[in-house]
Amino acid sequence: LTEITEFDTIAAISTPLGEGAISIVRLSGEQAIEIANKVTRKVDLTQVASHTINYGHVFDPETDQNIDEVMISVMRAPKTFTREDVVEINTHGGIMATNLVLQTLLSNGARLAEPGEFTKRAFLNGRIDLTQAESVMDIIRAKTDKAMQQALNQLDGSLAHLIHNLRQEILEVLAQVEVNIDYPEYDTDEMTTKLLLEKAQEVSQQIAGLLKTANEGQILNHGLQTAIIGKPNVGKSSLLNVLAHQQRAIVTDVAGTTRDVIEQMANINGIPLQLVDTAGIHETDNKVERLGVDRSLQAINDADLVLMLLDGSRPLEAEDQRLLSLTQNKKRIIIINKMDLPQALEIEQLPTNIQQENVVRISAVAQQGIDQIEERIEQLFFTGIENTANNAVVTNARQVGLLKQAQQALEDVKSGIKNQMPIDLVQIDMTNCWDKLGEITGESAPDELITQLFSQFCVGK
């Protein structure tokens, strides 16, 4: 991978399309400055100092027509995002002007960038590793400040550094083992296996520590899938609205109105929640309703967290019992709603295995007790990430999968030694661990993986 150093010049609109005060068209590559200069008047971009922003006009050299009055940043390699020459043209926004600037650049020697290609170049040019590239995507998608902070940490390379150090340690042991095999007169198998075993245990512990961060890391990154469950009219839509701090679901007095599953993002003390409001799950013959019920069951299944609503102003009904038992194996908070009304629900009727601390009383309408829900969510999911070296946190399924494979390779090392397998076989397992860790950062990642990973990005990043 590292031998690829020459690339053509790519261009794309790097800001979201639509009305905005400014849009940015970005160029990267050996000819970035030259191409931008071809379509610019009033300033000679080839002469300006690096990392400056310059006033000028973009025009079409073919028709001699002015396109837009712009500000152009010129950044010469290697201190740029891609480590190539980068030019960023700040246009006046509006789809027309921005598109015309891009078109003109494309007619004058640039190629339209593929999704994620700028970030891919940063990776291929060795400026960032794969975990950092992933964090670029996470930053773009971050829904809360906590999620953003985590992504920034990863962009900083905290996970990459930790992985890199682990690989270095493994490499040193492998080298030592190699020496021991080559010069058996200096050493015994016993010492070699001891060395391998110790390192396997040590690295395994570190990986276990990292994997412990995965749960919280992924929740911050992707949000906590949360299903709001309850019979019709308990106040699901009302609670969803309160949690999301905005009107979104339709609230009505008619039981069974929320037939569809409605999704909404909420930010609970920095934890992104993907809220799903479900139709009441009762047996039904109505087709539309049936669809809603199936999806509700699906929503329970998929949920990381269930918010199980009961109506405090009414006695517990068979439907409530059914939902309580349907959700009993999920992480759940039992919410007794409508505490502003006279209470009719007998707490003693609730299943005895329910933990009291997971029962809260609220009023969705009066917005009382909502903070208790927020506290419970934090306590259920955020025991506090155990500190790993440099606060490295695992943030996605790809990283988790590879860490588990690396962990398995270490288990193979241990059992190989226990079963007195030949050292060179044990060595293969250790090398395998080293490889899997390398895939996380991209040091030993196959080309297809890299192509696939970057294709998930949006154009212009």
255 annotated as ligand-binding: yes
Contact partner at residue 230 from ligand GDP, Zn ion, none, CB < 5 to 8 Å by partner kind: ligand GDP
Select from ligand GDP, Zn ion, none the partner in contact with residue 204, using the beta carbon and a kind-dependent cut-off of 5 to 8 Å: none
Please report where in the chains the tokens 């995507």 appear, as a residue.
137
Q: Is residue 229 near ligand GDP by the rule CB under 6 A?
A: no
Half-sphere exposure for 272 (CA within 13 Å, toward CB)? 21
Position 402 contacts ligand GDP (CB under 6 A): no
Amino acid identity at 393: V
The only residue of 234, 271, 373, 394 in contact with ligand GDP, by rule CB under 6 A: 234
Residue 258 or 327 having the CB closest to ligand GDP: 258
| Total length of the chain | 461
> Does the annotation place 127 within a ligand binding site?
yes
What crossing angle do the helices spanning 158-182 and 130-141 adopt, rounded to 10°? 160
Task: Give the shortest CB-344-to-Zn ion separation in angstroms.
Answer: 21
How many DSSP H helices and E strands does the chain contain?
A: 14, 13
* Residue 233 binding ligand GDP, by CB under 6 A: yes
CA distance 53 to 448: 37
User: Rounded to the nearest whole angstrom, what is the least distance from the CB of residue 364 to Zn ion in the complex?
Assistant: 11
Instruction: Output phi, psi for 146, to 5 deg.
Output: -65, -45
Q: Are 223 and 304 in contact (CB under 8 A)?
A: no
237 is in an annotated binding site: yes
Is there a binding annotation on residue 69? no
Long-range contacts of 423-428 (CB under 8 A, 24+ apart): 423/177, 423/181, 423/189, 423/192, 423/193, 423/196, 424/181, 426/193, 426/196, 427/174, 427/177, 427/196
**Strand, coil or helix: 230:** coil
Distance in Å, CB of 334 to ligand GDP, minimum? 15
Task: Tell me whether strands 52-60 and 40-41 are parallel, antiparallel or unpaired.
Answer: antiparallel
Q: Which two tokens stand for residue 64?
A: 């001699």
Touching ligand GDP, residues 124-153 (CB under 6 A): none
Q: In sequence order, which residues have a C-beta less than 8 Å from that of residue 8 and are 6 or more positions away?
A: 29, 30, 31, 111
Q: Which does 297 bind (CB under 5 to 8 A by kind): ligand GDP, Zn ion, none?
A: none
Distance CA 234, CA 215 (A): 31
If one asks whether residue 232 binds ligand GDP (CB under 6 A), the answer comes out as yes
**Partner interacting with residue 402 (select from Zn ion, ligand GDP, none; CB below 5-8 Å by kind):** none
Q: Where are the beta strands (DSSP E) in 271-370?
A: 271-277, 305-311, 332-337, 359-361
Contact pick of 112, 251, 326, 380 for ligand GDP (by CB under 6 A): 251
Annotation-wise, does 278 bind a ligand?
yes
Contacts of 89 (CB under 8 A, 6+ apart): 24, 25, 26, 27, 36, 58, 70, 71, 72, 73, 101
Shortest Cβ distance from residue 312 to ligand GDP (Å)?
A: 8
| 14 contributes a contact to ligand GDP by CB under 6 A | no
Contact flag: residue 143 with Zn ion (CB under 5 A): no
292 near ligand GDP, judged by CB under 6 A: no
Dig out the tokens for 297 from the structure: 């069951």
Judged by CB under 6 A, the number of residues near ligand GDP is 19
Residues numbered 340 to 359 that lie near ligand GDP (CB under 6 A) are: 340-341
State yes or no: residue 258 binds Zn ion (CB under 5 A).
Answer: yes
Interacting span for ligand GDP (CB under 6 A) from 25-33, 96-104, 145-153, 335-343: 335-343
Which residue stretch of 91-99, 253-261, 391-399, 449-457 sits at the interface with Zn ion (rule: CB under 5 A)? 253-261
In the region spanning residues 213 to 242, those forming contacts with Zn ion, defined by CB under 5 A, are 236-237
Residue ranges of the annotated binding site for K(+) are 233, 252, 254, 257
> Which residues are documented as binding site?
26, 88, 127, 233-238, 252-258, 277-280, 461
Annotated binding site for Mg(2+): 237, 258
Residues that bind ligand GDP (CB under 6 A): 230, 232-238, 251-253, 258, 337-338, 340-341, 363-365
